[in-house]
Structure 1
């Protein structure tokens, strides 16, 4: 399905494109600001298999369960 208000870009369109930093200030102002650099180093995404009862225990505490697992592991390794 095509959208006449938002046609697919052509090779020529991509060639003419400019980075947002080169747009006029009044246009840049219309877009929300990004988060910027993080204060803490970013976490590394990994895939890990845990026992179901361990996952259930941490998930029972509600949102942030992955951070709580990270916290527990950090205590174990002493960092």
Structure 2
């Protein structure tokens, strides 16, 4: 018994495929080489372009520090940049000490 079709997924711009549609369909290897290359490049985007996962934490800071931070535009970004800079300095110090 065929799976029932979700009517919200079928519309004039995206009709349900017919037997003729499946008969006309091409496999990936039958596509032009230039299109295959383009599709492969979309699938394998470099990891460096992907943003790192975000993780929410709770940190207690002095209220005056929080007030000053939050009074600036993009304060969360600036805070993250400051922490990254501090981490980089710590790593350099550790490497210099070893």
TM-score range normalised by the length of the shorter chain: 0.3 to 0.5
> TM-score normalized by structure 2?
0.39
Structure with larger Rg? 2
Query: Which structure's residues are more often helix, by fraction?
Result: 2
